[in-house]
Structure 1
Amino acid sequence: MLIVFSGLPGTGKTTLAKSVATRLKATYLRIDTIEQAIRNADVLAGDVGRSGYFVALELALGNLRPGHTVIVDCVNPVAESRQAWADVAARANAALLNIEVICSDPQEHRRRVEQRQSDVPGLIPPSWQSVLDHDYEPWSPAPLTVDTAQLSIDQAVELILLNGAVQGVSVD
């Protein structure tokens, strides 16, 4: 199964994705980590652009084919990237669970963004203004939406695992 966590920075994606990956003993792919590794390699003339997503797509496919559950942690802001994950799941004959993580409380969201400490060496966390300015397209159809302003981390993880179990993921 491929479980893709999407949403703006500061919503709680990474916290939830890591928790679910631990519970499922799944492969965990984080776009921020991949993109920073590409930056650190200093092999690109410009910004990383979509290269982090391309690397993650191939890593996901390589882990899905032998039957591993893969958790992806990414902003996934546009229909093109969302379709790419669906295509990878289809190529691997794996179920896909899309999860959009939101924080419906703007003050709490802003606090999280402004107080965020990066756990990826060299990665500069986004500013609140960059989060507000982020190009993020509405979903169609709507994925499973988890609001971290309304649910505790434990409640959100249980909701996700319940939805994953419905789609055939075994939960330890």
Structure 2
Amino acid sequence: MLIVLSGLPGTGKTTIGKALAAKRSAAYVRVDEIEHALKRHFGFDQEIGPAGYVVAFAIASSNLKLGNVVVADSVNPVPESRQGWRDVVRAIDGARLLEVEVICSDENEHRRRVEGRAPDIDGFTLPTWSSVASHDYVPWTEPRLIVDTALLSAHDAVSTIEKQLEAMSENCPRSP
């Protein structure tokens, strides 16, 4: 199972992703960490393009092939990155996908979170509210689970995702 958490910075993806990965003993793949490592250790400039996603897709694929649950945490701002995760799952027999868009419908709360958080990656520069508000983020057209963290705590968001995963298991049980 690949669970992809998408959404703008500051919506709660990382908090939810870490909690979900811990609860499910899942591999946790965070594009921010991959991109930061590429920039810091290999001299990539600020805009590294799709490189971080390509690495994340490979890590997710390796873990799925081992039968591991994978929680992927990334902005996923464009249809191409979203399609990349789908392609990972399509290439692996028996793999399934849950796409989750994490939003914060309360703009003031979203801004407060962006402006008040501290980096959890050594040397990582967090985005400003201005950069988040002007981020290129193509609206979704595909079906997905939407989790609104203005309405749900991180714990409740994880529970909502768990319920969706249970429903998916009931509708499409694994082969023995």
> Normalised by the size of structure 2, how large is the TM-score?
0.92
Q: Report deviation, 1:42.
A: 2.5
Aligned to 1:74: 74
The farther-off stretch of 45-54 and 131-140 is 45-54
| C-alpha separation in 2, matches of 1:45 and 1:139 | 28
| C-alpha separation in 2, matches of 1:9 and 1:46 | 16
Tell me if the contact between 1:95 and 1:167 (Cα under 8 Å) persists in the aligned partners. Answer: no
Q: Report deviation, 1:45.
A: 5.9
The farther-off stretch of 134-143 and 50-59 is 134-143
| C-alpha separation in 1, matches of 2:79 and 2:72 | 16
| C-alpha separation in 1, matches of 2:67 and 2:42 | 34
Q: Report deviation, 1:29.
A: 0.4
CA shift digits 1:90-114 (9 cap, x unpaired): 1123100000000000000000000
What runs of 5+ residues in structure 1 fail to find an aligned partner?
none
Tell me if the contact between 1:100 and 1:145 (Cα under 8 Å) persists in the aligned partners. Answer: yes
Q: Report deviation, 1:165.
A: 1.8
1:48 aligns with 2:58: no
CA pair 21-46 structure 1, distance change in 2 beyond 3 A? closer
Aligned to 1:152: 153
CA shift digits 1:27-56 (9 cap, x unpaired): 000011111111111343663221110100
| C-alpha separation in 1, matches of 2:137 and 2:44 | 25
What code does the residue aligned with 1:96 have?
L
What code does the residue aligned with 2:77 have?
P
| C-alpha separation in 2, matches of 1:67 and 1:95 | 11
What runs of 5+ residues in structure 2 fail to find an aligned partner?
none
Secondary structure of the residue aligned to 2:47 is coil
What code does the residue aligned with 1:22 have?
A
Tell me if the contact between 2:104 and 2:150 (Cα under 8 Å) persists in the aligned partners. Answer: yes
| C-alpha separation in 2, matches of 1:13 and 1:33 | 13
- What is the aligned residue count? 170
| C-alpha separation in 2, matches of 1:132 and 1:43 | 27
Q: How does 1:25-104 map to 2 (within 5 A)?
A: 25-44=25-44, 47-93=47-93, 94-104=95-105
Tell me if the contact between 1:30 and 1:74 (Cα under 8 Å) persists in the aligned partners. Answer: yes
Identical positions, percent: 49
What code does the residue aligned with 1:92 have?
I
